[in-house]
Every structure is written in structure tokens, then in C-alpha cells.
Structure 1
Amino acid sequence: MANLPPQILRVSKYCMVVAGTWRLSLASRHEVLQKIYSLYSACARAYFPIMLTSMCLQTVREKSTKSTEEMFRILSYIILLFIVQIASLMCQTGKFQKVLVRVASEERSILNSCDWNLLRFHSRRAQFCRTFNLNILFSTSGAVVCIILENWFLRRSIDRHNVLYNESQDKPFAIGLYSHSLDRERHATLLVAINDLCLCMNTFAVVSTKIVFISCMIFAPSMLKKLQIEFSKLNHRDSDVVSCLKMLVVDHQEVVGFVETMNGSVKYLILLEYLLNSLNFAVVSLQFISFETKLLPSPILFFYTLLVQTFVLGWSANEIQVQSLAIADALYESLWYEYTERAKKMLLIMMMRAQKPLALTIGPFDAMKTGSALAIMKASYSYVTVMIDG
């Protein structure tokens, strides 16, 4: 399953490989390369919680010396990394690995199909998925580059200020890692390099966890569309309509099982996104309106990334519901009135099952849909109001 089709999961796979979270085979003929990657993956998985703990310790250590603006910026970044850490653990579970394998095999089946409508439908979704993935990758990478450059210019500015006024102001680091055994002035170059390297590693960890779940969600309607086309093509002149219907029932149950398995893998991640993205929006928005400083590009790109991800998440979940309900319409559009009584009864039962939409839920609560993205924005507005009034 390593040779994934160059459609839905290609960008996700490359980002997960760099982040060290890809658990399937790399499709390499060299076992040595696979062992090297396994070692790298183990180091990457150990690095992330250590880095996050280091950030939290340094934040607590310097909270009295940080300005309100800096504390809000650090808080938003720690919240993002916390979500990424949870998502990274979720995407490495055996349950989600089965989802990735199923997506790869089903996409091969769709690409080998001779049905033009299905290929066109999937091609549009694959193109949208690639655009979304690259959008998140470039905007996140752009935000990280801006953070590195902003920190570099700020440190140079403090250097000039210290020389001009004979002072010794502390120079901040990009993400602020705990460095008890290293002097911040004597080892400044090393600490800056470590900070920048961590930011680059975090970029792929953030991007991979953001896009792999949504990529699978974007693909699910293609499976449902394939099922709709197969139902609509069912001909009453087939030698055994009942046998064909039985096969389609099995296919429908497999699609239902796929969506339910995916929901079991991502529902608590969606809950975290729903709760913490509101706070992230509020923290970034507060940087725009509460501080008398020049507007920097990094929070703008961060806000843009959050906005795109939130609405695509809601739209993708909503599309699964829409396409699952459309199966009943496809059954009705078939030549059901010319079927045998047994086939009609089977068709009726399938239509009744299709009336219950497939959905991805926000944890154990309501289904995720487009309106949920709007609810996140409304909640963030409430948070901003409370922060300003407080």
C-alpha cells in the first residue's frame, strides 16, 4: 500500500514522511532505508512531546518578563502544537492506518473505472484536495518563514539598541525553548539554530495532521458517488437483479463501515478543533485589534490557515451527509418498477437505510457540518469580547 495514487493522499504522505508519522511501508526495495526511516520516525515521535514540554516550562519561567502581546502569541502557538500532538498520535493508530489503506485501494478502483461521470466527479474532488493541501502547506510554511525573519530582525534591532544606549536587553527566540544548561548570550547562535530547526519540523507536523484527516474526508463522497452510479445503472434485464442488489448491499455496508471507522478515528480530533480553534481565532484576532504595533505577516498567515482549514473541515463533513442521502435518490431513479417483488422489497429496505445520513460527529455530540464552522467563528468572537472587557 505504499504506492499510493498520485491524487488524494500524495501531499499528505510526503508531509507525514518528513514529520516521521507515516506508519505504512515506504515502497522502498532497500530494507536499510526502511530501517533508517523507522529510527528517524522514532526520534521524531520522541522529539515532539519533549519540545512542547520545553516550551511550556520556558513560558512559565519567563511569564513575569513577557509582555501581554508575547504571552498571547506563545499561548496560540502552544494550543496549536497541543492539537497537533493529539492528532499525530491519532493518525498513527491501527484504526486510522486501515482508513488510509482503504482510501488508497478505493481510489485505484475509481481511477480504473470506465465511467466518465465518476472519473469527472473524483477528478474535481482530487483537484480541490490538492489545492487545499498545497494551500495549507504554503501558508503554514510562509508563516514559519515570517516568524524566523521577524525574530531575526527583532534580535538585530535589540543589538543596535543595546549598542546605542549601552543597555543589555534580552533578545527573544522564535518559540522559546527551555535552556537551563546553555547561556542565552554565549550560545545564542546555537539556540537560534535549534529554534529554527524546531519550527521547520513543526511545520510538517502541523501540515500533515491538518491535511491527512481532511483528505480522507474529501475522498469519502467519491466512494458514495461510485455507489450511486452503480445503483442507477442497475438494469431490470440483468439475469439476476437480486444477486446484483445483494452485491450492492455489501458495497453499501462497506462504505458505511468506512465512514464509521473514520468517524471513530477523527471525532475527538474534530472536538478538539471545534473547542481550541475558537480560542486560536480569538488569540490571533486580539493581536490585530488590541496592540498598537505594526501588523506582522505571520499572524495574518496563521489566521488565514485557520480560516481555510475550519471551513473546509465543515464543508467536507457536510458533503459526506449530502452524498449519503443522495443514494436514496439514485435508487429511486433506477427502473425499480420493473423489478420482481423480492427485488423491490430489497430496494425499499436499502432506501430506508439510506435515509439515515452518514456523518462525522464532534466527539460524542452533534454532527459536524458547515454551520459548525460558523459556530466556531461566533465562539471566537465571544472570546475576543471577553478578553477585551477583561
Structure 2
Amino acid sequence: MELKSMDTVEMPLFGSTLKLMKFWSYLFVHNWRRYVAMGPYIMINCTQYVDIYLSTESLDFIIRNVYLAVLFTNTIVRGVLLCVQRGSYERFIEMLKSYYVQLLESKDPVVANLVAEATRLSLFISRINLLMGTCTCIGFVTYPIFGSERVLPYGMYLPTIDEYKYATPYYEIFFVIQAIMAPMGCCMYIPYTNMIVTFTLFAILMCQVLQHKLRSLEKLKGEQVRKEIISCIRFQLKLAGLVSSMNSLNTHLHLVEFLCFGAMLCVLLFSLIIAQTIAQTVIVIAYMVMIFANSVVLYYVANELYFQSLDIAIAAYESNWMDFDVDTQKMLKFLIMRSQKPLAILVGDTYSMNLKMLQSLLNAIYSFFTLLRRVYG
């Protein structure tokens, strides 16, 4: 297959992520699957909050239902955002595809190796996230089996129906329905995370390619240097535009997920305190690992982009700029000055997403957990 005719959905960098998006008709396709996926989840999420409000169950099940309700809400927000901004996401992916094809067509072996490494890392993260999502789905279904009471995988308020009554098949019917919907939710939640991670990894790749181009200036002479620097400046503008587009698409969702992550981790830590059996403890820990790993990956790649963008200025300075003429030095200085402002994934269009921000959140969560342990421990 020629690179220029490459199907956007089949870009190696994304693995199966865009195929799942296309299957559920969130991107590139508009059909009934989107509503089959979203409709039941929205209804169930509403019944979850009503069930929490009216619940008379033990505290550990209420806490777990709160966690699942927040997780469902986060999943729905992702789906709604994709539906509302479908055109913007598709245009962004098409733009990313054009940049990706240009890098694939490069005859520079270093660039080829950088592209191959970014693709391998993206596929690895995608598979790990899908594996953790599968384990979490299994946890949803198996958690009630180890409980001391008869409960569904996640709470639902069903007016006029007693789903726990032994003389009726309601419990078994709703258990099967919820078991089927768990992997559907995973296919909505995980691919979006993988897509955002891939966007950021590609921005990191562009930073690394630009650094390589700047360090290779010493191999050029005369007018070739000037042309290459102009090419690097244009490449830098493309990179800045790519990150700016990413922020316009996702910055407000990052804020919602930042708050949801803190809330869910607090709930899970509390569930760990009041877990009744070893099996329940193991499943709660599995939930924590999945949520934590998803967030750490996002914050880690965003942190890497931040520092890789700063390294562009270092790469430019490490070139043999002393041998350039004055006009060429001025152009290189312009590029260095632009690189002094790091490229950052923004949370709420205000705060840079990085490991320092994640550490601050974890410190706050641990303080809250310590308080809860003193009160209920």
C-alpha cells in the first residue's frame, strides 16, 4: 500500500484505537452503533445516582457504587465529546496523518528509527491499557460473587422492581445485562485514552525529529544551512499548531478527568479500608491500578513533551552556530527564542499537565485518605 493512500483508520501509530472508534461510529462513521453504545449507558448512569441517593446497603457497596457511577460518567463525557466534536477530531487526525506520512517518507535513517520507536511505544501502551481494561471488566463482574450480600456488579434503581428477590429471575437477567455492558464501556473508555496518548507521543516524535535536524546542521554548508533552518522553523510552527489543536480539543476534558481521578482514587482508598474479604481487597487494588496507570501514562507523556520541547533550544545551541553568517545566526536565534516557551498539554486551559501536578494531586489524596483512616479505621 502506498503511503499517500494510507487509510487514516489503519495508521500503524494508532494500532486498533481508531478501528474501535470507527466500529462504535464515534469517528469516521455515523450510524446506529453510537446510540446503542451511548443510550443504555446514559440511562444506567442516571439510575446509578438515584440508587446511591436511595441506597440502604452497607457502606462498602455504596462507596463502590459511587466509584462506578463516576467512572460511567467519565466514560459518557468522553463519548459525548467525541460525538459533539467529531468533525474537529477527524480534521485533527487527518492533519496528524499528513505529518506522519511525511516522516514515513523521510530517507533519513535516524528519522525512520524515531518513527518506528514511537509506533512501537504507542502500540505497547495501547495493548497494556486494553489488558488492564479487560481485567477491570472481569473485576466488575466477579466482585459481587465474593460479597456477603446479593448485589449486582453496579447499582441500579429500578422502580417497582425488586431485582434481589429470590423468587424472580430479575437478578440473573440484570446481572447478565450488566456483564455484557461492562466490556462495551471498556471499548468506549480505553480507546479514548489511547488516542490522547498517541497524539502526545506523536508531538514528542516531532520534537525529537526537530532536534535531530538541528544537530545535523553541522553537516551542511552555506545556503543549505539557511534553507534547513527555515525548514526547521516551519516544522516548529507545525508542531506548535499541533499541540495548540490538541489543547483546544481536550483541555476541558482533562480538567474533568483530573477531578474525577482524584474522586475515584479517594473512593477506592476508602473501599480498601472497609473491604470485607481478601478477594474484595484484591479487586479494589485492581481497580486502583487501572485508574492510576491510565492517569500516570497520560501525565508521563505530557511531562515528556514539555521537556522534549525545551530540548529543541539545546539542540539548536549545540549546532556549529559560530560558523554561520550573521543572518543565519539571527534565524537560529529566532528558533531558539520560540523554543524557550515549552509546549504543554493544558488542564482546564490553565495548568500544565506534568508529573509535578500529578504528585500534588496524590499528596492531597493521601492526606484525605489518612483522615478517613483515622475516622473509620
Q: One fold, TM greater than 0.5?
A: yes
Matched, 1:290 2:274: yes
Q: What is the DSSP-based 3-state SS (H/G/I as helix, E as strand, rest coil) of the residue aligned with 2:77?
A: helix
Question: Aligned pair in 2 of structure 1 residues 107, 5: CA closer, same or farther (>3 Å)?
Answer: farther
Q: How far is 1:389 from its partner?
A: 4.3
Structure 2 letter corresponding to 1:99? F
Give the structure 1 partner of residue 152 of structure 2: 173
**Aligned CA-pair RMSD:** 2.5
Give the structure 2 partner of residue 264 of structure 1: 248
Give the structure 2 partner of residue 7 of structure 1: 12
5 Å-filtered alignment, 1:25-36, equals none
Matched, 1:363 2:348: yes
Distance, in Å, in 2 between the alignment partners of 1:327 and 1:334 is: 11
Question: Aligned pair in 2 of structure 1 residues 109, 301: CA closer, same or farther (>3 Å)?
Answer: farther
Matched, 1:104 2:114: no
Matched, 1:329 2:333: no
Matched, 1:232 2:236: no
Give the structure 2 partner of residue 22 of structure 1: 26
Distance, in Å, in 2 between the alignment partners of 1:365 and 1:44 is: 32
Query: Identity, % of aligned pairs?
Result: 19
Question: Aligned pair in 2 of structure 1 residues 51, 100: CA closer, same or farther (>3 Å)?
Answer: farther
Unaligned runs of 5+ in 1: 26-36, 159-170
TM-score, normalised via structure 1 length: 0.84
Question: Aligned pair in 2 of structure 1 residues 275, 68: CA closer, same or farther (>3 Å)?
Answer: same
Structure 1 letter corresponding to 2:301? S
Q: How far is 1:72 from its partner?
A: 0.6
Question: Aligned pair in 2 of structure 1 residues 304, 152: CA closer, same or farther (>3 Å)?
Answer: same
Distance, in Å, in 1 between the alignment partners of 2:15 and 2:345 is: 23
Matched, 1:281 2:272: no
Q: Cα deviation per residue 1:167-223 (whole Å; 9 max; x = unaligned)?
A: xxxx32112333336552343332222211221211111212222212211221101
Structure 1 letter corresponding to 2:153? A
Distance, in Å, in 2 between the alignment partners of 1:21 and 1:238 is: 52
Q: 1:79 aligns with which of 50, 70, 77?
A: 70
Give the structure 2 partner of residue 301 of structure 1: 286
Give the structure 2 partner of residue 213 of structure 1: 196
Q: How far is 1:54 from its partner?
A: 2.4
> In the alignment, is the contact (CA less than 8 A) between 2:152 and 2:171 conserved in 1?
no
Q: What is the DSSP-based 3-state SS (H/G/I as helix, E as strand, rest coil) of the residue aligned with 1:175?
A: coil
Question: Aligned pair in 2 of structure 1 residues 95, 238: CA closer, same or farther (>3 Å)?
Answer: farther
Number of residue pairs the alignment of both structures matches: 362
Structure 2 letter corresponding to 1:201? M
Distance, in Å, in 1 between the alignment partners of 2:188 and 2:249 is: 18
Give the structure 1 partner of residue 3 of structure 2: none
Q: How far is 1:152 from its partner?
A: 4.7
Q: How far is 1:275 from its partner?
A: 2.0
Distance, in Å, in 1 between the alignment partners of 2:222 and 2:114 is: 27
Unaligned runs of 5+ in 2: 1-5
Identify the structure with bigger relative contact order (alpha carbons < 8 Å, sequence gap 6+). 1
> In the alignment, is the contact (CA less than 8 A) between 1:279 and 1:383 conserved in 2?
no
Distance, in Å, in 2 between the alignment partners of 1:187 and 1:102 is: 50
Which deviates further from its counterpart, 40-49 or 260-269? 40-49
Q: Cα deviation per residue 1:208-262 (whole Å; 9 max; x = unaligned)?
A: 2222212211221101112222233345525454444333322211110100110
Matched, 1:203 2:194: no
Matched, 1:120 2:113: yes
> In the alignment, is the contact (CA less than 8 A) between 1:21 and 1:88 conserved in 2?
no
Distance, in Å, in 2 between the alignment partners of 1:45 and 1:143 is: 20
Give the structure 1 partner of residue 230 of structure 2: 246
> In the alignment, is the contact (CA less than 8 A) between 2:136 and 2:290 conserved in 1?
no
Distance, in Å, in 2 between the alignment partners of 1:280 and 1:268 is: 18
Q: How far is 1:68 from its partner?
A: 0.4
Q: What is the DSSP-based 3-state SS (H/G/I as helix, E as strand, rest coil) of the residue aligned with 1:233?
A: helix
Question: Aligned pair in 2 of structure 1 residues 316, 79: CA closer, same or farther (>3 Å)?
Answer: same
Give the structure 2 partner of residue 166 of structure 1: none
Distance, in Å, in 2 between the alignment partners of 1:389 and 1:70 is: 20
Question: Aligned pair in 2 of structure 1 residues 318, 47: CA closer, same or farther (>3 Å)?
Answer: same
Q: 2:128 aligns with which of 110, 135, 140?
A: 135
Q: What is the DSSP-based 3-state SS (H/G/I as helix, E as strand, rest coil) of the residue aligned with 1:75?
A: helix
Which deviates further from its counterpart, 307-316 or 115-124? 115-124
Question: Aligned pair in 2 of structure 1 residues 298, 8: CA closer, same or farther (>3 Å)?
Answer: farther
Q: How far is 1:2 from its partner?
A: 3.8
